[in-house]
Amino acid sequence: MPMSAAAAAPAVPVPPPRSRGYWAGVGLRFVKDPVALGASAVLLVLLVLALFGPWLAPADPFKSSMLGRLQPIGSEGFPLGSDELGRDMLSRLMVGARLSLFMGITPVVLAFVIGTTIGLVAGYAGGLVNSAIMRTVDVFYAFPSVLLAIALSGALGAGIGNALLSLTIVFVPPIARVAESVTTQVRTRDYVEAARASGAGAFAIVRVHVLGNVLGPIFVYATGLIAVSMILASGLSFLGLGVKPPEPEWGLMLNTLRTAIYVQPWVAALPGAMIFVTSIAFNLLSDSLRNAMDVK
Amino acid sequence: MKPPLLTVQGLVKHFPLKKDVFGRGGGTVRAVDGLHFHVFAGETLGVVGESGCGKSTTARLLMHLIAPTAGEVVFDGRAVGSRDLPLKDYHRQVQMVFQDSYASLNPRLTIEDSVAFGPRVHGVGAREAVERARGLLAKVGLEPARFAERYPHELSGGQRQRVNIARALALAPRVVILDEAVSALDKSVEAQVLNLLLDLKDEFGLTYVFISHDLNVVRYISDRVMVMYLGEVAEIGDAERLFEAPRHPYTAALLSSMPSMDPDRRTERAPLAGDPPNPIDPPAGCRFHPRCPRAEAVCAQRVPARPAGGDGVACLMFEAGSGHAAAPARAA
Amino acid sequence: MTEPLASLRDLHVTFTGGRAPVRAVNGVSLDVQRGEAVALIGESGSGKSVTLRTLLMLHPPRRTRLSGSVKVAGRDVLAMKERELADYRGSVASMIFQEPLLALDPVYTLGAQIVESIRRHEPGVDHAAATRRALELFERVRIPSPERRLAAYPHEMSGGMRQRAMIALALANRPQLLLADEPTTALDATVQIQVLILLRELQRELGLAIVFVTHDIGAALEVADRIAVMYAGRIVEEGTARELMRAPRHPYTLALLRSRAHGTMARGERLVTIPGAPPDLARLPPGCAFAERCAWAQEACRAGEPEAVTIAPGHRARCLRTDATAPT
């Protein structure tokens, strides 16, 4: 009978020639998504504004003119109108991008680092350590974020630095919760058990096996928080707890243009529209990233 | 008679169940309840049993992935986890292959990195670890040039299981525990992987503990077989003898539950009724007595003696002077 | 020759969801007589589960292309609309699955699920009568303490009990055809044999026809009168259980039987394995799908799909080399 027993190295079928890493696959799926590309384009424009706003702005955002107050959109010299002190809205919006984005992204980045660390430790350790850490986190998480931000800012005092601090503290608990949840899931996977079985210590296991597999979902969650951070920062500025005038910042602009709603409603709404567009762009980016990362 | 390489003595693992608000529930899952057996160097010990018998828990206890409630594992005369044999050293000697080939591999690592991880943990340099990984991939039939930099999702189940075997061998262990390692594979792939396991065993002089529910495969690959029931050893001994002439009534029932493979002589009556029981409240006396066709009154009262680690059966029918009708008389 | 209960003719099932269409079933023709048990054996990717699910039209309609004919109890299944299908499922043909925990609704008791099924198909039956029937069903599938078990939830039952409960549910509306998709694969050995024996008894007592899909030849032999071996979406050999065991003729069947570990092997003897791997169902070769792994393959085998060759009455194989595989 010609059916022979297989040798120790039987012919195994060849998988497709190109081997892509996971992140390369994510990137490829991402660029094929029109929503993702649209959102990225918007954010790119905002980034350019944030970096080069002062040089790109047509007029001086601080120059006020009592005669040119509250001009409508499309006026001579004021393409998007002017605010209550006669300053050019377009320039203020463009220059304001820097501070607004800064207030949106910085707390989230800081909270990402801190929250992920807390969540990783709690998730990997399990048991009593987990309970202790997470119940503490839950106490903070129980506060509505706006209330907590205001309370912390009020306690710390006004100013950008304190606003950033209070926002970071607001965002650490939700990120820590997501991190702990994902870490707990990954910790029970067979490949982590196999890593323990090869004698690796907790540090090595977390670094090699856990981190790469949990960062993704946490990152997606965090990008969704950027929009929230911008809105909360705007709220703080609105209440006078964050940015101080005459700095252009979209939330602060919303505040100071409050009284102009009946006079120039469109102009008064412009800073809100910028916040809206940025929020939507970050949220759509976050959604597309999550879709791109959903393999299999 | 050579001393055993691995000995399990009085191993116990109980999992407590939480009580609810009203104080209901509670109790313990007695997953493993006083296990005692030997594994001799160079052999393949097959472990069989049904749901609730504790074989998966036993595998994890052997690997010390979970700590026992009582009892110990002794490797080469040294207690595992003691100063004589710290866990890290133990893991260099004893490794494990899991059932789910996909879940056993980190989806973010290339397979050569997965295989090289173990040696790196033990201090082997990066380049040498990768070299070793590639060599092992070749040994398990996966050409390094084509496979080393692939990711787990690009491989088939059989190929992934080969990677898992390579990973287990990366630390040059003496014992490999195979926990249902071929159960999830198609029959033709299973045959290839079984052949590979036999070849590797010969080449590296390995000792296997082969846990499976597939009696045919266990019979084929094992030198000795241990049958577990409700967290205890029911019977242990030479594979051929156990399959040809099982002593414990449970072993006999298990073996006669295998399909007859003959359409003219089909099994007419199931040897056992009901499902394998739950290890939460094991019966008093011999744990098998409620379902045993040979049970007598004494079986509910008296616990059979634990079998010796090498060969034995936990049944009053084989215990001299136990009081069971079939038991031999006590030696004068 | 009586009209078969179920008749598949040249069935093709293609899934069009992914990058390339996947040809899961490629020209399957099968007859199932009343009261007959047929087993479909094959490995993953052979198309056996897909064939089975076509009998109940369980494929997602938008991503599936079906052609050929499927007739069960005189009805044209492929042409049925939703309403007809809902009537057909359960009362003409019904299915049991591999994992009862996934197939049974976890938030309803077993009794409630059976009663609901009965009353959906026979609205005139009142609750008490339906409950009585549910009790009878539980007794018929030999569940001990049936009254108590009717009030139990799926997660409160053991594996074997759940599988019996699922069988009872499947039989609630007296179907003529029972479809079983790997029903014993997830069960322990001692429970598996109980369920296989139960299926045989139900076949005898109720005159039930059964189509049983499995990768375990032993399980198939315990239940089936006839066996069809599938590979790459085609039936490559078909015959009575006895014929197939005594004299298998298709190279794949032979290889499958030989690669099983069994007790009469010598210690250390290596298993005979089939080289290579099953073909990609999105890129099937033009000829016999097994040719590239077959030790007897010739040029003619790769040229076109082999026709079925009759080896003995009721025993057919799709192979050009059955002369080479005849027992010597």
Over residues B240-297, the pLDDT tens digits come to: 999 999 999 999 999 999 988 888 888 888 899 888 888 888 888 899 999 999 888 8
Beta bridge pairs of residue B72? B9
Closest in A8, A20, A209 to B196, CB measured: A8
Closest CA to A247 of A116, A138, A95, A127: A95
- Residue from the list A6, A20, A191 with its beta carbon closest to the beta carbon of B106: A191
Report chain B residues whose CB lies below 8 A from the CB of C262.
Answer: 216, 219-220, 261
Q: Dump pLDDT digits (tens) for B156-212.
A: 888 999 999 999 999 999 999 999 999 888 888 888 899 999 999 999 999 999 999
Interface test with B, best of C193, C257, C272 (most B CBs within 10 A): C193
C219 interaction partners in chain B (CB closer than 8 Å): 259
pLDDT of residue B268: 87
Whether C151 and C108 have beta carbons less than 8 Å apart is answered as: no
| B312 token code pair | 């034995």
Does residue A78 form part of some domain? no
CB C78 within 8 A of CB C69: yes
How many Å apart are CA C317 and CA C236, to the nearest integer?
6
C-alpha distances (whole Å) from C81 to each of C69, C78, C88, C117 are: 15, 9, 10, 20
The beta-carbon contacts of C56-61 under 8 Å, at least 24 apart in sequence, are C56/C89, C56/C93, C56/C94, C56/C95, C56/C179, C57/C85, C58/C95, C59/C13, C59/C15, C60/C17
Interface-testing mutation among A3, A4, A12, A205, with chain B (most B C-beta atoms within 10 A): A12
- CATH number of this structure's domain B6-19+26-108+151-318: 3.40.50.300
Residue A118 has a pLDDT of 94
Q: What is the DSSP letter of B306?
A: P
* Domain boundaries defined on chain C: 107-173, 250-318
CB A198 within 8 A of CB B118: yes
| A interface test, pick of B62, B85, B117, B178 with most A CB neighbours within 10 Å | B117
Give me the sign of the Cα torsion angle B130, B131, B135, B138: positive
Residues in Cβ contact with B202 at an 8 Å cutoff, skipping those fewer than 6 apart: none
| Pairwise CA distance, residues C299 & C236, whole Å | 18
What per-residue confidence (pLDDT) applies to A3?
Answer: 37
How close are the terminal C-alpha atoms of chain B, in Å? 28
Averaged pLDDT, C83-94: 92
- What Å distances lie between residue A47 and A42, A95, A168, B114, CA to CA? 9, 11, 21, 39
Residue percentage of chain C with pLDDT more than 70: 98
Question: Does B51 contact chain C (CB < 8 Å)?
Answer: yes
Strand partners, C93: C89, C177
Of A1, A2, A10, nearest to C273 by CB-CB distance is A10
Q: Coil, strand, or helix at residue B45?
A: strand
Which tokens hold the place of B269? Answer: 């009556």
Query: Any CB–CB contact under 8 A between A190 and chain B?
Result: yes
For residue A7, the model assigns a pLDDT of 37
Distance from CA of C11 to the nearest CA of B (A): 25
Low-confidence ranges of chain A (pLDDT < 50): 1-11, 16-17, 296
Q: C308 and C300 in contact (C-beta within 8 Å)? A: no
* Most A CBs within 10 Å, among B65, B121, B186, to test the A interface: B121
Question: How far is C298 from chain B, CA to nearest CA, in Å?
Answer: 23
Beta-bridge partners for A88: A82
pLDDT of residue A8: 37
C180-200 pLDDT per residue, tens: 999 998 888 999 999 999 999
Residues 6+ apart with CB under 8 A from B28: B14, B15, B16, B17, B280
> C121 pLDDT exceeds 60?
yes
Chain C partners within 8 Å of A1 (Cβ): 295
**CA A19 from centroid of its chain's CA atoms:** 31
CA–CA separation, A109 and A39 (whole Å): 20
Residue whose C-alpha is closest to residue C290's, from C302, C282, C281: C302
Q: From CA B163, how far away is CA C210, in angstroms rounded? A: 40
Nearest residue on chain B to C245, alpha-carbon basis: B262
Kindly report the CA angle at C59 between C57 and C63, in degrees rounded to 5? 135
Give, as one character, the DSSP assignment of residue C59.
S
Domain boundaries, chain B: 6-19+26-108+151-318
Q: If pLDDT is split at 50, 70 and 90, which confidence band does B1 have? A: low
Structural domain harbouring A93: 34-49+87-293
**Interface ipTM above 0.85:** yes
C17 contacts chain A (CB < 8 A)? no
Task: Tell which residue, C278, C272, C238, C243, has the closest CA to residue C256.
Answer: C272
- Going by C-beta distance under 8 Å and a sequence separation of 6 or more, which residues neighbour residue C202? C140, C141, C167, C171, C178, C208
Structure tokens at C103: 């197939």
Mean pLDDT, residues C101-109: 90
Neighbouring residues of A139: CB distance < 8 A, sequence distance ≥ 6 = none
Q: Indicate which CATH number applies to the domain containing A148.
A: 1.10.3720.10
What tokens appear for C160 in the block? 């074997």
DSSP state of A88: B
Q: Which backbone phi and psi does C309 adopt, to 5 degrees?
A: -110, 130
Cβ contact, residue pair A15, B118, below 8 Å: no
pLDDT at C176: 95
Other Cβ atoms closer than 10 A to B117: 24
> How far apart, in whole angstroms, are the C-alpha atoms of residue A187 and residue C116?
42
The span from the CA of C40 to the CA of B140, in Å, is 33
* CB-CB neighbors (< 8 A) of B103 in chain A: 189-191
Nearest CB neighbour to B105, from listed A13, A20, A191: A191
- The mean pLDDT of C224-240, rounded to a whole number, is 94
- Give the global pTM: 0.84
**Beta strands C177-181; C93-96: pairing state:** parallel
Q: Give domain status of residue A246, yes or no.
A: yes
pLDDT band at residue B116 under the 50/70/90 scheme: very high
Pairing state between β C22-32 and B6-16: unpaired
The pLDDT value given to residue B255: 93
Contact between residue B243 and residue B219 where contact means Cβ atoms under 8 Å apart: yes
> Do B8 and B36 contact (CB within 8 A), yes or no?
yes
Contact B267 C224 (CB under 8 A): no
Cα torsion angle, A111, A112, A117, A120, sign: positive
How many domains would you assign to chain A?
1
Q: Measured between CA atoms, how close is A28 to chain C, in angstroms? A: 15
- At residue A10, the pLDDT reads 44
Partner B contacted by C188 (CB < 8 A):
yes
Distance CA B26, CA B15 (A): 10
Per-residue exposure over B21-36, b if at least 16 CB sit within 10 Å of its own CB, e if not:
eeeeeeeebbbbbbbb
**pLDDT digits over B304-315, tens only?**
988 888 899 999
**In this predicted structure, what is the pLDDT of residue C131?**
94
| A219 φ, ψ (degrees, to nearest 5) | -60, -45
pLDDT at residue number A1: 37
Closest CA to A148 of A215, A82, A241, A61: A241
Question: Buried b / exposed e across C136-169, counting CB within 10 Å, b at 16+?
Answer: ebbebbbbeebeebbebebeebbbbbbbbbbbbb
Confidence of residue B331 (pLDDT cuts 50, 70, 90): low
DSSP state of B328: P
Dihedral sign from CA coordinates of A246, A250, A255, A260 = positive
* pLDDT tens column, C18-50: 788 999 999 999 999 999 999 999 988 899 999
Q: pLDDT band for C328, please (50, 70, 90 cuts).
A: low
